[in-house]
Amino acid sequence: MEITPEILTHSFGEAEAQAVYQVVKQEGDWVGFAKRFAFHEDGKVARNALWVLTKATDKELLVFRPMFHELIALAMKTEHSAVRRLSMNLVERLPLNEEDLRTEFLDFCLEHAMNVEELPGIQSICIKLAYRMCKFHPELMDELRRTLEGMEISYYKPAVKCVRNRILSGRLK
């Protein structure tokens, strides 16, 4: 099967995502697939391509480490919530080093994490990413802890409460 934008514009279920994943895996061109489709101007194409990429193992995803900042930029600029969530999911699965701290991305994550109108999946991943960026810097970790403690928790969904509580209790690694 040749993967084209037309294939990725159709409604996708798990079977379709797995089928495309198997083609990309067989071809071994993860980066080419991502550059061609994950950043596509058509939101459906980008969403489906990113969903396919989330099927990759953590080892397979390591090829995206050089694209780390491009994936962050995609998450920050897109208007499509599914593209934001899926691109942030990929970022969250990549290794994060102390020098990867980007204050504009940390601010973005905190803003979206605290926004009660944001989707819970995006809020949760934003909290996780904020934690991962802050853990290298004690002063930022203190600020994150105060922010999380100050959340009016009754406004948030269970997924967000769970991530928040795991960080505050020291159970998120």
Q: What is the pLDDT of residues 54-75, one digit of tens each?
A: 999 999 999 999 999 999 999 9
Query: DSSP assignment, residue 41?
Result: S
Tokens of 7: 């294939």
Q: How many beta carbons lie within 10 A of that of residue 130, not counting itself?
A: 27
- Separation of alpha carbons 111 and 26, rounded Å: 39
Yes or no: say if 145 and 151 are a contact pair by the CB < 8 Å rule: no
Give residue limits of the domains in the chain. Answer: 1-95, 98-173
Whole-number pLDDT of residue 149: 94
- Average pLDDT along the chain: 94
pLDDT in tens, 83-132: 999 999 999 999 999 998 899 999 999 999 999 999 999 999 999 999 99
Share of the chain residues as helix, strand and coil, in percent rounded to the nearest 5:
75, 0, 25
- pLDDT of the residue at 141: 95
Q: Distance between CA 123 and CA 118 in Å, rounded?
A: 6
* Residue 82, pLDDT above cutoff 90: yes
Q: How confident is the model at residue 53 (pLDDT cuts 50, 70, 90)?
A: very high
Residues 6+ apart with CB under 8 A from 99: none
- Reply yes or no on whether the pLDDT at 173 is more than 80: no
Burial 13-27 (b: 16+ CB within 10 A, else e): eeebbeebbeebbee
**Taking residues 25-29, what's their average pLDDT?**
95
Determine the Cα–Cα distance for residues 172 and 22; give it in Å rounded to an integer.
32
Q: Averaged over 49-54, what is the pLDDT? A: 97
